[in-house]
Amino acid sequence: MKSYPAPADALRDVLRLSSAMTSKMAMASLPLGGGKAVLAVPEIPRGKASRELMLRYGDLVESLHGTYITACDMNTTPDDMDVIAERCSSVFGRTEGNGGSGTSAPNTAVGLFHGLRATVAHAFGSDDLTGKDIAVQGVGAVGGPLSRMLAEAGARLTLADIDDVRAKELAAELDAEAVSADGILETECDVVSPCATGGVLNAEAIPRLRCRVVAGAANNQLAEPQDAERLRERGILYAPDYVVNAGGVIHLAGYEMLGEDDDRVNERLRAIGDTLGEVFRLAEAEGISTGAAADALVEKRLTEGRSA
Ligand code: NAD
């Protein structure tokens, strides 16, 4: 749910997001296609207006007879999913009290942690994070728990959030440094982890990066596909977003659709690291960007799926 300058912007966004969902499902080996819905609103509704919108949206999703399953994302919560569920059976991520699996963000962070380590291993020859300098942009529902895991693993953290207080409090807790949100991507470090919004890796930002690895949770980090090549030219190893941030859908589909237990979900989260290894090997063998390599693997998996 988001405000857009014009309806065409919302349409463009939902098409990019739904395409990324297809890629994410394919790379996470989940038996789902990809879809996304965007609620383009003049402003984020609260209270009764929010409830009415969720009910109306629930009716719409129900009319698709299970071909589309909705879930939480930007500006929506498990409580909103509970409201949608009053009208609709195709909804992931209701609260646990209401029969759902709750927020997927902690498992997105776990999957990202595995993926980030696999990316570090490829770039530096070891997945040991002790003493690695890592800059995290956005310490919300995913960036927060990720930072805790990184600190636990011995990394030295630089944290930033447009909510200054949030970054400062977490930095104090983790013995990390909090900096202004403006310059976080330009921090001199080993790893930059974009965990805030999309489009942050663009023609303007990439020349200013001073890191060896980019691995973060944000969806659609590249402003355009060529940005993956820009990163390769700069010698920066980029973990494609839809591979490394699949922990959320692994959580939702694993628990709510496939009936999996914690062990199986954790196995899938760890496999994100192995999938990235496959992406990096293909990129090197073909001399292409990691973004292009991931896209090629998606295409292969979808084609094999179609012919199976
Ligand atoms: P969130 O809203 O809980 O956290 C985002 C944080 O980033 C907030 O603290 C916000 O203040 C901060 N922020 C926003 N713009 C910023 C900026 N320009 N600079 C610095 N900080 C900024 O969201 P989340 O659930 O942690 O998700 C983070 C990203 O990961 C989003 O792009 C989301 O789409 C993506 N993602 C989330 C999940 C999930 O399971 N939650 C799964 C896959 C992908």
The Cα–Cα gap between 256 and 182 comes to: 39
User: Which residues are CB-contacts of 170 (< 8 A; sequence separation ≥ 6)?
Assistant: 139, 144, 147, 159, 176, 178
Pocket test for ligand 1, best of 21, 72, 136, 142 (most atoms within 8 A of CB): 142
User: What is the pLDDT, as a whole number, of residue 308?
Assistant: 59
Q: Residues 189, 122, 114, 80: what is their CA dihedral angle, to the nearest 10 degrees?
A: 70
Dig out the tokens for 87 from the structure: 């009208």
Region of 2 (left: φ > 0; alpha: ψ -120 to 50; beta: rest) is beta
Is the whole model's pTM more than 0.85, yes or no?
yes
pLDDT tens per residue, range 172-213: 999 999 999 999 999 999 999 999 999 999 999 999 999 999
In the block, residue with structure tokens 């179609």: 306
User: What is the pLDDT, as a whole number, of residue 250?
Assistant: 98
Task: Compute CA 15 distance to the chain's CA centroid, rounded to the nearest angstrom.
Answer: 16
User: What is the pLDDT, as a whole number, of residue 305?
Assistant: 75
The question of whether 36 is a catalytic residue gets the answer yes
Pocket test for ligand 1, best of 21, 162, 164 (most atoms within 8 A of CB): 162
Strands 237-238 and 177-178: unpaired
Does an H or E element contain 238, and which? strand 237-238
The answer, yes or no, to whether any atom of ligand 1 lies below 6 A from the CB of 217, is yes
Atom of ligand 1 nearest to the CA of 108: 40
What is the gyration radius of the CA atoms in the chain, in angstroms?
A: 19
Directed axis angle between helix 7-27 and helix 247-256, to 10°? Answer: 70
Q: Which parts of the chain have pLDDT scores under 50?
A: none
The answer, yes or no, to whether any atom of ligand 1 lies below 6 A from the CB of 74, is yes
User: What is the pLDDT, as a whole number, of residue 307?
Assistant: 65
